[in-house]
Amino acid sequence: MTSLLDVRDLTFHYADRAGAVRAVDNVSFSLARGGSALGLVGESGSGKSSLALAIMRMLPTNVARYDGEIWLNGQELLGMTDDRFRQEIRWQKLSLVPQGAQNGLNPVLRVGEQIIEPLMVGGTVAKQEAIARALELLAYVGLPADVYDRYPHELSGGMKQRAMIAAALILEPPVVIMDEPTSALDASVQTQITNLLKRLKQDMNLAIIFITHDIALASDVCDDLAVVYAGEIVEIGSADQVLLHPTHPYTQRLLASIPRLHGDTLPQFIPGAPPDLREPPAGCRFHPRCPLVFEPCAQESPPAFEPAEGQIARCWLFEDGQG
């Protein structure tokens, strides 16, 4: 299947007094066309949210390095001017529901006015048409029509999250990035939001990048999974491959840390702590915590090996094709 979004060797470093923070380092992945979801999973601080900002070109002022390639439907995005990207791509073709979106609404503006704002900026859509579109989306995400005239403080956390999803969809972009869309929500509301995302894939033929630290949650939504560690993607494949046949030691330890409903196996913790991204370890960045570490691991960063068709792992265990 031809991919809709291709990210190639994307690098995004922050400038810091103690040195550059290598939040995203030579990351590559592809997102299939509509009706699919790719999960980016990993521990907090691994660079997942920074990757979302890098794709959206929503960059802070302290950028130390930002390069690579981002191709959307055959069009390269990093070579665009900021004005052209803002006018043609951001929100129109790529939209983002940011982390902590429940607090992302302007408290002094009515929810509906914030949802239709992207439609009104261009001046090509009449306000009544924009309102009608917003009411359709509110109904689709499970919110009553009167939410349009409410203020954010009148909504629960789950309602705010649904409103932010509606806002991200108002220009009908083919790709939406969801950054921790269920964080700070209780379990029942989490389930409602994940069911909504699955409907979006099917009904709107939407391609979703789903960012989360909860690999079990990602497995319920995503067709493919990319495991992120210390600014790098260490494993990527179909959800079945990554969940049932994990190849990278970090992925294996991450899955082993999940509590099981059945069986006597206790969750296992991952020893140590993620590295400081100002000074990541030489070689494989997971090697100080890896139970299978051997000589090459500390010497050189592993390239991408293919232990199974369509499954990529950055681990020296697969250098000889054995694993």
Q: Look at residue 2 in the predicted model and tell me its pLDDT.
A: 74
Q: pTM, whole model, 2 decimals?
A: 0.93
The mean predicted confidence, pLDDT, of the chain is 92
Consecutive H or E run containing 95: strand 94-97
Strand-pairing partners, residue 24, are 12
Q: Look at residue 62 in the predicted model and tell me its pLDDT.
A: 94
DSSP helix/strand/coil, 277: coil
H-assigned helices in the chain: 48-56, 82-88, 111-121, 127-140, 157-169, 187-203, 215-221, 239-244, 249-256
Amino acid at the residue 301 = S
d(CA 295, CA 183) in angstroms, rounded, equals 39
The closest of 251, 287, 246, 253 to 267, measured between CA atoms, is 253
Q: Look at residue 153 in the predicted model and tell me its pLDDT.
A: 93
Residues 6+ apart with CB under 8 A from 99: 49, 179, 180, 183, 211
Spell out the per-residue pLDDT of the chain, length 323, in tens.
Answer: 578 999 999 999 999 888 899 999 999 999 998 789 999 999 988 999 999 999 999 999 999 999 999 999 999 999 999 999 999 999 999 999 988 776 788 999 999 999 999 888 876 789 999 999 999 999 999 999 999 999 999 999 899 999 999 999 999 999 999 999 888 788 888 899 999 999 999 999 999 999 999 888 899 999 999 999 999 999 999 999 999 999 999 999 999 988 877 777 788 888 889 999 999 999 999 999 999 999 999 999 999 999 999 999 999 999 876 55
Unique residue bearing structure tokens 């067709």: 223
207-212 and 175-179 as β-strands: parallel, antiparallel, unpaired?
A: parallel
Q: What is the side-by-side strand order in the sheet with 75-76?
A: 21-32, 3-14, 63-72, 75-76
Q: Look at residue 291 in the predicted model and tell me its pLDDT.
A: 93
d(CA 214, CA 97) in angstroms, rounded, equals 17
Provide the b/e sequence for 92-130 (b: ≥16 CB within 10 Å).
ebbbbbbbebbebbeeeebbbbbbbbbbeeeeebeeeeb
**Quick one: 312 exposed, middle or buried, by C-beta within 10 A (0-12, 13-18, 19+)?**
buried
Q: Look at residue 322 in the predicted model and tell me its pLDDT.
A: 52
Structure tokens at 143: 């919110």
**pLDDT tens-place string over residues 162-175:** 999 999 999 999 99
Q: Look at residue 308 in the predicted model and tell me its pLDDT.
A: 93
Q: Look at residue 268 in the predicted model and tell me its pLDDT.
A: 86
The DSSP code for 44 is T
Give helix then strand counts, H and E, for the chain. 9, 12
